Amino acid sequence: MRPSILRRLLRRVAPTAALALVAAMLGATGAPPAAAAGGLQQVTGFGSNPGNLQMYEYAPASLPANAPLVVALHGCTQTANDYYTNSGWPKYADLWGFAVVFPQTTAANNALSCFGWFDPAEDGRGRGEAASIVQMVEYAKQRYGSDGRRVYVTGLSAGGGMTADLLAAYPDVFAGGSVASGLPAQCATSQAGASGCQTGPQKLTPAQWGDKVRAAHPGYAGPWPRVAIWQGSADYTVYPANATALRDQWTDVWGIGQTPSATDSLPGGTTRSVYDDTSGNPAVVTYSVSGMGHGLAVSPGSGAEQCGTTAAYFLTAICSTYHTGVFWGLDRDVPGGEQLPAPSGLHVTDVAADRVSLSWDAVAGADSYAVHRDGAGVAGTAGTTYTDTGLTAGTAYRYTVTAVDGSGTPGTASPQVTATTTGGAPARCFTATNYAQVAAGRAHTTGGHVYANGSDQDMGLYNVFVTHTLRESPTGYFVIADTGCAA
């Protein structure tokens, strides 16, 4: 292919996967997308389909009515079948009981089969691809009797950018979302602006980012979706600054600050930062995967917290699908029937370096109680007290409790409480120029700005003229503490 033709074609495709264009063309055969395999089924006639998308779906056998519904959006150069095969969503659909819709775009829409997250004709309310995806949701809700209050959307890369746009345009449809290596909502409104978003989005304030969400559905006052943000620290296709912008955007929409309520470490070198709403429940969660490039984090294996298959843009680190599902509550929400009420009075009775003790009020009709730590089930108990042991000193843990009836059906989760174990390394404070903070390994640079390691807070320009104080706690997690840093 002549270079002039290649340059013209590059201008026509979404920059999200432009780096892969040459390789894609060298191996292109002109064949249609791979046929769906296994339990994945194509659906036609789901609506007027203004975005010219294809709909695929997966549902476990004997799916009860009022089950949740998940929409999963592939990345550029991928198909619905790729996402079905490698992401791990079918495993948890079977395990927890929900249906999954896999929308698919094709080269007819975009040369690299990217969703149009940067195109106002495709990503706005009532428009193009976004409208087609919502039509799929409505079709699936009727087909499976899904609970309209528990519809969630997730996506990778361009699918992640479209996920953020859908959450902004349709907060009345989606109860939660998960953006993997994606872009903040309405980061770009043209193809020309898309590359700038990928390598370093605009340096906007949280309020300015939040305004982009509020403008997508004017007059909407909530409730807002709960948002998970997944990002590899070595992603040079969609830079980590996008995760910071997403965090700023959705914490502002929720009316909460950009300082995490708690941080902890997960497998695969993953740091989780939780931003609670005013009721103490996680509203926004970021997952930063150390050393991971551009892709969806998976963890092949048969364990309860393992999922997926390693492939192009499916990278071995941690099962992001499991942790996203737990964040949304898919592991404990039970469709249909009357649920037991949430236990009241949950409180911390004792803490030590390696344990936390809890107590709560009894619930009439409860056969037992399930204790959840950081969103994952850790124990079942017949009584109204529990001591969680084997914990890490100096670490914050979040707990909820649900009552379980005689059939094993869990009820509504209690309000969350947070307990911090004693001991551990004390916090440390470091005052230095931005240049020196980066040189010391306490911060990193992206697009000429410096960001604190762990929190990804924007420290300003990368030079020796800007000075900040960083507070480290836990180890390797830094926050700006210019107004006072208590060690």
Q: How far apart are CA 414 and CA 247, in angstroms?
A: 26
Q: Is 157 a catalytic residue?
A: yes
Residue 180, token pair as written in the block? 């993997």
Partnered with residue 32 across adjacent β-strands are none
Active-site residue identified among 87, 113, 157, 181: 157
Nearest to 480 by CA among 439, 434, 440: 434
Contact 325, 292 (CB under 8 A): no
What does each C-alpha distance from 59 to 63, 75, 144, 151 come to in angstroms? 7, 22, 9, 14
Question: 362: how many CB neighbours lie within 10 A of its CB?
Answer: 13
Q: At what angle do helices 158-169 and 128-144 cross, to 10 degrees?
A: 80
CA 404, 329, 234, 155 torsion: positive or negative? positive
**CA torsion angle for 344, 350, 355, 359 (degrees, to 10)?**
-20
CA 116, 119, 121, 126 torsion: positive or negative? positive
Active site residues: 157
